[in-house]
Chain A
Amino acid sequence: MYLGLIKIKIRMIVQEEIENKTIKPINKEAVIIIRHLYKSFGSNHVLVDFNLELNKGEAVVVLGKSGSGKSVLIKCIIGLMKPDKGTIEMFGKNIGSIKNDELDKIRAKVGFLFQSNALYDSMTVRENLEFPLRRHWIKVSQEEVNAMVQDALEDVGLKHTVDMMPAELSGGMRKRIALARTLILKPEIILYDEPTTGLDPITGKEIIGLMKKIQDKYHTSSIIISHDMNCLRMASDRVIVLVDGTCYANESYEQLLKITDPKVKQFFE
């Protein structure tokens, strides 16, 4: 009887290990693996059996209509929303079943650029940039913090704004500062939520150029939520077309242009 109980216990532990922590990515280079993801709001099924793999150093653009669940997808990836079903693995760990401390450690390696920038209104640009450093318990001296803030601002070309308040900045500048805040922890993955929405085409192109520059400089992997064709053309290695909550097409930008399916073609007309 005891032997039976021990066997059951071992099986449970092994099962738990498989489900939670020790799943190896199918693709050794994959930093994010999403399997059979479902998310609904009442009767509105936003994500239905959605699958995605993001490889190291790759930039994937997720394209879809407004309200098609693109933002929900990246909020599920970063753990701001809980999916109804399915698994999301980041760096080999299932983020749905790990503790908050562990999730925070993973989040320290992931940058998130919010659609609304989400700069803290009551803090200066410097304080905004210092906030993630202080909160992730990264032990650095004040001199190092200052240097990191200066580096991040230099990357986005806004060194002179360090003591300004977010309200004093233009839309494009706010987006750059938000990008600098994302960069301060030198993330391995950056999630961009509609980075060019609300910007004029010229500033939008500048932001896309900046994203590309950052990817080349820091070899980050990115998931970019966008319906900006410039973003697709300039920043994507691969494009995923989200239709009815599922991954409808998964091709490079050039290949997508050749697809005649009306559900895909509508985005390029």
Chain B
Amino acid sequence: MPLAHNLKLFLTEAGGMSRFTGRLFRQWFRPRYEFAEFFRQCFIIGYKSLPLVGLTAFIMGLVLTMQLRPSMMDYGVESQLPAIIGIAIVREVGPVITALIFAGKIGSSIGAELGSMKVTEQIDAMEVSGTNPFKYLVVTRVLASTLMLPVLVMLGDAISLYGSWLGVNIRGDTSFSLFWTQVFDNLSFNDVIPAFIKSFFFGFAVGIVGCYKGYNSSKGTEGVGRSANSAVVVSSILIFVIDLLAVQITDVLGFN
């Protein structure tokens, strides 16, 4: 039965990923600490993703403003555009879109890199060279992606709001300081903190899925491609699932 088979596959995968995550937490705090590799990964995962995240955030802010403007004009609340855009970007659009871009770039690259290392025996070679490959490859990457995504989200939000200001000024005339004053006057910590916290979880999901898929890659080059692909698909789905849970939790805690 295909349904039973698919369910079995899903549960096997979920079990494998849970064990992998458990192993990560067991290794997380134990020495030896791979600081050099961790900082290298922060540079690759964080700094090198900035141009892509920045560009997409800028376009997103600009387009969102231009598309929202006519509707706002119809209701006569055009002046509220910076406030609405600010809340939308900081609370939801910024973290989710940045996380999806991040999953596409970093999730696939981690999946492909570890997958190719696995099939070309580089992970075995590392173990023979007195290195714990799980610590060196997995812990560093997951930690770097968990810590770098919130930073990218914050920078992306700022760039997006700058794009929005330009969007407002295409058909209007709003000063930079007035725009930012309106944005910040309507934002509270209840908007910023939950969005900031959930971006850690998004980063963790992208890192752990990419590493799990790559580390368990098999069947040669075909397997590497499949690892990269499924790393993006699964982490993108997880981002939405985490977002859904985050909304429920913030609602219960009274942040909404």
Contact = CB atoms under 8 A, between A and B. Distances in A.
A219 interface: no
Contacts of B121: 114-116, 118
A75 B125 CA distance: 11
Nearest to A108: B130
A107 interface: yes
Interface residues of A, number: 23
A131 interface: yes
Interface string B102-146: 000000000001001100111011111111100000000000000
B120 A132 contact: no
Given A118-B122, A118-B125, A132 B130 contact: yes
A9 to B, nearest CB: 31
Nearest to B128: A112
A135 B125 CA distance: 12
Contacts of A118: 120-122, 124-125
Contact of A131 (B124, B127, B129): B129
A114 B124 contact: yes
Nearest to B120: A116
* Most chain B beta carbons < 10 A, residue from A80, A107, A115, A118: A118
B45 to A, nearest CB: 14
A137 B132 CA distance: 13
B131 A135 contact: yes
Contacts of B122: 118-121
Nearest to A193: B121
B130 A137 contact: yes
Given A115-B121, A118-B125, A135 B116 contact: no
Interface in A102-144: 104, 107-108, 110, 112, 114-122, 131-132, 135-137
Nearest to A103: B130
Contacts of B116: 121
Given A107-B129, A114-B125, A118-B122, 5 more contacts: A80-B127, A120-B125, A131-B126, A135-B130, A136-B130
Interface of B: 113, 116-117, 120-122, 124-132
The 9 closest A-B pairs by CB, nearest first: A118-B125, A118-B121, A132-B129, A136-B130, A104-B130, A135-B130, A114-B121, A135-B131, A135-B129
